[in-house]
Amino acid sequence: MTILVIAEHDNAALAPATLNTVAAAAKIGGDIHVLVAGAGASAVADAAGKVAGVAKVLVADNAAYAHQLPENIAPLVVELAAGYSHILAAATSNGKNILPRVAALLDVDQISEIISVESADTFKRPIYAGNAIATVQSSASIKVITVRATGFDPVAAEGGSAAVEAVSAAHDAGKSSFVGEELAQSDRPELTAAKIVVSGGRGMQNGDNFKHLYTLADKLGAAVGASRAAVDAGFVPNDMQVGQTGKIVAPQLYIAVGISGAIQHLAGMKDSKVIVAINKDEEAPIFQVADYGLVADLFEAIPELEKLV
Amino acid sequence: MKVLVAVKRVVDYNVKVRVKADNSGVDLANVKMSMNPFCEIAVEEAVRLKEKGVATEIVVVSIGPTNAQEQLRTALALGADRAILVESAEELNSLAVAKLLNAVVAKEQPQLVILGKQAIDSDNNQTGQMLAALSGFAQGTFASKVEVSGDKVAVTREIDGGLQTVSLSLPAVVTTDLRLNEPRYASLPNIMKAKKKPLEVLTPDALGVSTASTTKTIKVEAPAARSAGIKVKSVAELVEKLKNEAKVI
């Protein structure tokens, strides 16, 4: 068995989610190869080669792969697929965008967002916003899978010494082109990888009030998340949304401030180790999952909390 | 241009589902069913394209049981022109759905296909991408803005770090994110009018599509229950517990 892991990267650095995906591959067992498709991504390839447990790194360096356009990357993966038993990618926006296209071209089902590996062909994944866990078995000749990063502890980023091999295949479907992007800038840790997450909801009342959460977060070395209500109301950008349709987090500590705890929000954070809820409504559903609940006005509690930590 | 919209009948998003005692699935008997929220956004976007004069006809398609006709009627009431139901009693995987949609695409020849980014029951987030692969179309997934101009469509996508804009050649597949629009409500007169709009029923066999699957669900379990913890009385007590009991700060 040989497993192909598609690296998540921005042409400059290997994203941490790749380490969790390699960990899932290691649980399946067999040789692990990593594909780095990009443009000018040699630093990423070097980093991938050092990841513990990786046997080989394939580098496809071509302008067509610069922005991870699925129309160009999917045919590349399909061309490389022969000989692999599994193709894995992190369930990030890139992984979710590219892998189903690969699966359809290979004429196999795809298994989305696995949270555990039961055996080489059997996996667990959440359905219905995490309210049920399905165990699924695949008889496909090539198993195409996305991995929920929070389900697997990352492998070490150092310690491996894989050979790096260039792949010459160039696929440019010519159907799509990159126009531009607007990335949110932040010095705080990345939301999905942070040890502590402080999240605000509708109770924050406006975008300005989020500054209280930012100061608290900076003191704790935490990332800041949000509920859909806070995003839809325009308090914060959508890439901060935690939930079924936003990001899935599982930090050591999740502090939910002014968040009621709808099913869709819980889907994104209920695997956190310790959950703290601060809400003035003592009937809020968030208290049913919180390890520590504080019924209080957040505008009094947050500054006080900031002083004490 | 013609726009094809795919909709799915799913459990209503407010329902807290229960896993069946025999672990064969979740209990959907007597549970409220609705149109998948992302599909509503897809229908709304198509209707707005028609109102702008970009789209000339909206065909809405669903693949599912006989009573998915209810969701198709809803889409017709919201402004779709006609509907197609590909009737299948069994639950189909994304690839089978994508193959059936591809057969409908071949038949209808739309310039734009709009789907939701994921169904809130299976949470797969696959069908649009698979359909794009099978039809050879470009894909604009997780769209928060769609602008058609000439033979191209510019799609602003919600990605992990923020937003990305891509330009796709038509025909193309677009999947909707929550921020794309606010779906309207169907008015009573429109609901009445929708009853007279055409609804064609097809079968996978008639489309010549095999719905065989390489995956099977072995069991469905309830997730590990998380029990409520304690309520603390003050911020000081909270900090003390986090430091000394939970040891997370």
pLDDT digits (tens, 9 = 90+) for A207-222: 999 999 999 999 999 9
Note the ipTM here.
Answer: 0.95
Per-residue pLDDT, A145: 98
- To the nearest whole number, what is the mean pLDDT of chain B? 96
- Examine the pLDDT at B246 and tell me if it is beyond 90: no
Confidence of residue A155 (pLDDT cuts 50, 70, 90): very high
**Mean pLDDT over residues B74-81, rounded?**
98
Token digits for A78?
Answer: 């399909």
Say if B238 is an interface residue toward chain A (CB within 8 Å): yes
Asked if A295 and A280 touch (Cβ cutoff 8 Å), the reply is yes
Strands (E), chain A: 2-6, 31-38, 56-61, 86-90, 110-114, 116-119, 122-127, 132-138, 143-147, 163-166, 176-183, 196-200, 223-226, 253-257, 274-279, 292-295
Asked if the C-beta of B234 comes within 8 angstroms of chain A's C-beta atoms, the answer is yes
Q: Does A255 touch chain B (CB under 8 A)?
A: no
The enclosing H or E element of B158 equals strand B152-159
List, for residues A17-75, the tens digit of each pLDDT value.
Answer: 999 999 999 999 999 999 999 999 999 999 999 999 999 999 999 999 999 999 999 99
Q: Smallest Cβ distance to B215: which of A129, A138, A253? A: A138
Instruction: Look at residues B144, B99, B115 and name the one whose alpha carbon lies nearest to residue B4.
Output: B115
List the strands of the sheet with A31-38, edge to edge. A110-114, A143-147, A86-90, A2-6, A31-38, A56-61, A163-166
Q: pLDDT > 90: what percent of chain A?
A: 97
What is the CB neighbour count within 10 angstroms for residue A87?
26
User: Are A180 and B165 inside 8 Å of each other by CB?
Assistant: yes
Which residues, numbered 260 to 289 in chain A, qualify as contacts with chain B under a Cβ-Cβ cut-off of 8 Å?
263-264, 270, 273-276, 282, 287-289
pLDDT tops 90 at residue B90:
no
Residue among B93, B118, B178 minimizing CB distance to A228:
B178
Q: Pick the closest to residue B165 from A268, A69, A103 (CA basis).
A: A69
Q: For position A16, what pLDDT does the model report? A: 94
A2 has a pLDDT exceeding 90: yes
Average pLDDT, stretch A116-122?
Answer: 97
pLDDT given at position B249: 83
Q: What is the distance, to the nearest Å, from the Cα of residue B170 to the centroid of all Cα atoms in its chain?
A: 21
d(Cα B227, Cα B94) in Å, to the nearest integer? 34
What percent of chain A lies above the pLDDT cut of 70?
A: 100
Looking at beta carbons, which residues of chain A come within 8 Å of B144?
Answer: 238
Query: Which is it for the CA torsion A231, A235, A240, A243, positive or negative?
Result: negative
Q: Distance, in angstroms, between B228 CA and closest chain A CA? A: 5
Q: CA of A33 to nearest chain B CA: how many angstroms apart?
A: 24
Percent of chain B whose predicted confidence (pLDDT) is above 70: 100
* pLDDT score recorded for residue A185: 86
What mean pLDDT is reported for chain A? 96
Full-model pTM: 0.96
Contact B238 A305 (CB under 8 A): yes
Average pLDDT over residues A254-265: 97
Three-point CA angle B42, A10, A233, nearest 5°? 40
Give pLDDT tens digits for B114-126: 999 999 999 999 9
State how far the Cα of B228 lies from the Cα of A215, in Å rounded to an integer.
28
Contacts 24+ apart (CB under 8 A), A184-191: A184/A237, A184/A239, A184/A240, A184/B161, A184/B162, A188/A214, A188/A217, A188/A218, A188/A222, A188/A223, A188/A224, A189/A221, A189/A222, A189/A223, A190/A16, A190/A223, A191/A223, A191/A224, A191/A225, A191/A239, A191/A240, A191/A242, A191/A247, A191/A249
CA atoms within 13 A on the CB side of B162: 10
Taking the Cβ of residue A218 and every Cβ of chain B, the question of whether any pair is shorter than 8 Å is answered with: no
Judged by a CB distance cut-off of 8 A, whether residue B181 touches chain A is no
| Chain A (166-195) residues lying within 8 Å, Cβ to Cβ, of chain B | 173-184, 192
Per the rule left: phi > 0, alpha: psi between -120 and 50, beta: everything else, B193 is alpha
Q: Do B215 and A71 touch (CB under 8 A)?
A: no
Question: Looking at the complex, does the CB of residue A47 fall below 8 Å from at least one CB of chain B?
Answer: no
Question: How far is residue B94's CA from residue B60's CA, in Å, rounded to a whole number?
Answer: 18
Would you say how long chain A is, in residues?
309
Chain B hits for A252, Cβ within 8 Å? 248
Whether the predicted pLDDT of B248 surpasses 90: no
pLDDT at B218 (0 to 100): 96
Q: How far is A161 from chain B (nearest CA, A)?
A: 30
Q: Does B13 touch chain A (CB under 8 A)?
A: yes
| Ramachandran angles phi, psi of B26, nearest 5° | -100, 155
Q: Looking at the predicted structure, is the pLDDT value of residue A8 above 90?
A: yes
The minimum CA-CA distance between A100 and chain B, rounded to whole Å, is 5
Q: Show residues of chain B in contact with A101, CB under 8 Å.
A: 129-130, 132-133, 139
Residue B188: pLDDT over 90: yes
**Min CA distance, A283 vs chain B (Å)?**
12
